[in-house]
């Protein structure tokens, strides 16, 4: 990622002279002053952004080229044949190299937030700015909507939000007002007449005196183009980018907009899959005397088929279930919904016999979806007796957490549902003490750790054993502590295909 320091004064046309010995990004740093020059605080007229008189003009922009090195040679000697063309070609190659390196950095970003930040950094280097922000607000209204700043904190972005929307170039571009398609330049905010007083106050507070804004539009520049948002770069002094700089940043942002459009569409898909999965799971957990429940569900980026359930049963009993369908994406989510609904029906009819419930579920899965398998764990819970009768099909064993013990429940080894011609396995019983918690979970919790299976189980055991005594009376706190400890980021790798389900039942 580009490292934009506190003041970037980059001149793109000076890069060819340095690129023979260093990369483009190193050449950027060549012209980044260590401290803020005193001249920046002195009054001066507006100037072209990023052009510093102390930086020598590049060779391919020199007005004349001498053909003789002798002291008496004429000063107006004509150019050697082809020298000017070669000079221009060198400049074009330099520009292409710059854009290539910047776009290479951009395509390596795989999240929307990372891509927006890279866009700001690269754009700031191209236009010679130090700060900026980008607002993602797709014109179709489907989102995602977000604002990211460069060199601007949350409070700074909040100050900008207090300015009337159409008083800012960013707002005018987002609203699609005429005259904003090619960008908006404000070379000297405090010299402009008719500037909104609130805009003037915020600019003075944040310390910027000029801005350059560009629309982010995916597709060709036609009526069918999709406007994604806008980016604006802020200057600490009156300034504006040269025509050459505008051309370069325009090429870059057009490419960046296409990349952002793809990431935004992926973000929409992920959000839709998470919403569908959440809607297929219980909207709330039942309240049954004698037991407290808590559940945590983390959907993977691709949408997985992990699920959980808790439903009241006759005779003040409670059915507890967790499971996982093979595969990912919409088909796995749909299969998960069908499997969970079927298990609820079987549990109501014969929940006191967990083996019969899973046997019926296995038969249904084999007949209706023979190409798919699933793991499942169903427990018939009797809160008054503090007892759970369990049956599992290829699922990880529950974990029992109490004041004097933290141990995995021994369950019989069995195949997942749909793997054998006929599934069958014996049930086991858990007898809990008052105040103890039973943790049911899916394999995704173990897989997201990235550890081998034995180490993942050891990590889960250590996380449960390390729950502070003060938190053990609240199953919500127990579930959160276990997730934070097993998966420090509470979700695991961003590109993981594994869902995470954790169901905690504490006996009173």
Percentage with pLDDT > 90 across the chain? 52
Mean per-residue pLDDT, 376-396 = 93
Model pLDDT for residues 208-257, shown as the tens digit of each residue: 999 999 999 987 654 446 889 999 999 999 999 999 999 999 999 999 99
Mean pLDDT of the chain: 81
What the block records as the tokens of 133 is 């922000």
What is the per-residue pLDDT for 426?
Answer: 82
For the stretch 438-486, pLDDT in tens is 999 999 899 888 899 999 999 999 999 999 999 999 999 999 999 999 9
Rounded to whole angstroms, the Cα distance separating 154 from 145 reads 16
Residues 6+ apart with CB under 8 A from 5: 29, 32
- Residue pair 313/347 in contact (Cβ under 8 Å)? The answer is yes
pLDDT score for 220: 60
Q: What confidence tier does 40 reach under pLDDT thresholds 50, 70, 90? A: very low
**Whole-angstrom Cα distance, residue 356 to residue 378?**
10
pLDDT mean over 349-372: 90
User: Which token pair is 439?
Assistant: 């943790």
Q: What is the rounded CA–CA span in Å between residue 442 and residue 455?
A: 16
> Is the bond preceding residue 144 a cis peptide, omega within 30 degrees?
yes
- The pLDDT of residue 110: 86
CB 23 within 8 A of CB 101: yes
Q: Which two tokens stand for residue 244?
A: 């050459």
List Cα–Cα distances, 51 to 14, 54, 113, 234, 248, in angstroms.
10, 9, 30, 15, 15
- In the chain, where are the structural domains located? 12-35+49-56+86-270, 281-507
Radius of gyration of the chain (CA): 32
**What average pLDDT does range 121-132 have in this prediction?**
94
Q: Which residues contact 420 (CB under 8 A, 6 or more apart)?
A: none
Distance CA 466, CA 490 (A): 17
Q: Please answer whether residues 337 and 326 qualify as being in contact, where contact means their C-beta atoms are separated by less than 8 angstroms.
A: no
Q: Distance between CA 145 and CA 320 in Å, rounded?
A: 38
Does the structure show a pLDDT above 60 at 19? no
Whether the CB-CB separation of 123 and 252 falls below 8 Å is answered with yes
Select the more confidently predicted residue: 12 or 191: 191
How crowded is residue 219: how many other Cβ atoms within 10 Å of its Cβ?
Answer: 14
Report the distance separating Cα 233 and Cα 241, nearest Å. 10
Report if pTM > 0.85.
no
Report the helix count and the strand count for the chain, using DSSP H and E.
Answer: 13, 17
As a whole-number percent, the residues of the chain with pLDDT over 70 amount to: 80
Q: Residue 357: is its pLDDT beyond 80?
A: yes
* Fold of domain 281-507: Phosphatase 2c; domain 1 (3.60.40)
Structural fold of domain 12-35+49-56+86-270: Beta-Lactamase (3.30.450)
**Which of these ranges, 201-205, 267-271, 350-354, has the smallest mean pLDDT?**
267-271
Q: Which residue has the higher pLDDT, 78 or 72?
A: 78
More confident residue, 423 or 174: 174
Q: Give phi and psi for 225, each to the nearest 5.
A: -65, 145
Per-residue pLDDT tens digits for 156-206: 999 999 999 999 999 999 988 888 888 999 999 988 888 889 999 999 999
> How far is C-alpha 105 from the chain's CA centre?
17
Residue 292 has pLDDT above 90, yes or no: yes
Instruction: Quote the CA–CA distance of 168 and 184 in Å, as a whole number.
Output: 10
d(CA 415, CA 326): 14
- Which structure tokens are listed for 172? 């005018």
| Residue in the structure block whose two tokens are 């909507």 | 145
Closest CA to 97 of 218, 248, 256: 248
Is residue 103 over pLDDT 80? yes
């Amino acid at each position: 990622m580009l490292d934009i320091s506190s003041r970037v004064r980059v001149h793109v046309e000076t890069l060819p002279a340095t690129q023979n010995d260093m990369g483009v990004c190193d050449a950027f740093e060549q012209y980044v002053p260590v401290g803020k020059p005193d001249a920046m605080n002195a009054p001066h007229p507006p100037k072209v952004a990023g052009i510093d008189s102390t930086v020598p003009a590049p060779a391919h922009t020199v007005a004349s080229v001498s053909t003789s090195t002798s002291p008496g040679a004429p000063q107006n000697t004509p150019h050697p044949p082809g020298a000017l063309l070669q000079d221009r070609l060198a400049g074009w190659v330099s520009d292409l190299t710059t854009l290539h390196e910047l776009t290479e950095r951009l395509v390596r970003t795989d999240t929307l937030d990372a891509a927006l930040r890279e866009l700001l950094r690269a754009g700031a280097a191209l236009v010679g700015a130090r700060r900026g922000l980008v607002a993602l607000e797709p014109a179709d209204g489907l989102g995602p909507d977000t604002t990211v700043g460069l060199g601007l904190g949350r409070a700074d972005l909040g100050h900008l939000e207090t300015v009337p929307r159409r008083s800012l170039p960013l707002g005018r571009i987002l609203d699609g007002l005429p005259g904003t398609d090619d960008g908006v330049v404000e070379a000297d905010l405090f010299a402009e007449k008719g500037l909104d007083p609130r805009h003037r106050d915020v600019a003075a507070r944040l310390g910027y005196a000029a801005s350059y804004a560009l629309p982010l539009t995916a597709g060709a520049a036609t009526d069918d183009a999709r406007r994604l948002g806008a980016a604006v770069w802020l200057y600490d002094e009156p300034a504006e980018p040269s025509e050459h700089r505008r051309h370069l940043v325009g090429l870059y942002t057009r490419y960046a907009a296409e990349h952002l459009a793809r990431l935004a569409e992926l973000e929409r898909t992920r959000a839709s899959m998470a919403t569908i999965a959440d809607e297929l799971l219980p909207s709330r957990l039942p309240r049954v005397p004698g037991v407290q429940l808590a559940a945590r569900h983390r959907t993977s980026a691709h949408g997985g088929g992990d699920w959980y359930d808790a439903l009241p049963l006759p005779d003040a009993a409670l059915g507890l279930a967790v499971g996982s369908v093979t595969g990912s994406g919409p088909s796995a989510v749909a299969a998960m919904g069908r499997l969970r609904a079927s298990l609820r029906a079987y549990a109501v009819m014969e929940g006191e016999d967990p083996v019969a419930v899973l046997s019926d579920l296995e038969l249904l899965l084999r007949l209706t979806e023979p190409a798919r398998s699933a793991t499942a764990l169903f427990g018939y819970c009797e809160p008054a007796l503090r007892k759970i009768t369990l049956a599992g099909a290829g699922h990880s064993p529950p974990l029992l957490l109490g004041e004097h013990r933290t141990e995995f429940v021994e369950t019989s080894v069995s195949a997942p549902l749909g793997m054998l011609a006929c599934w069958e396995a014996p049930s086991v019983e858990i007898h809990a003490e008052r105040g103890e918690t039973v943790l049911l979970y899916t394999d995704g919790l173990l897989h997201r750790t990235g550890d081998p299976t034995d180490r993942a189980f050891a990590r889960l055991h250590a996380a449960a054993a390390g729950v502070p005594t003060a938190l053990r009376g609240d199953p919500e706190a127990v579930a959160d502590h276990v997730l934070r400890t097993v998966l420090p980021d509470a979700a695991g790798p961003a590109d993981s295909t594994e869902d995470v389900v954790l169901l905690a039942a504490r006996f009173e």
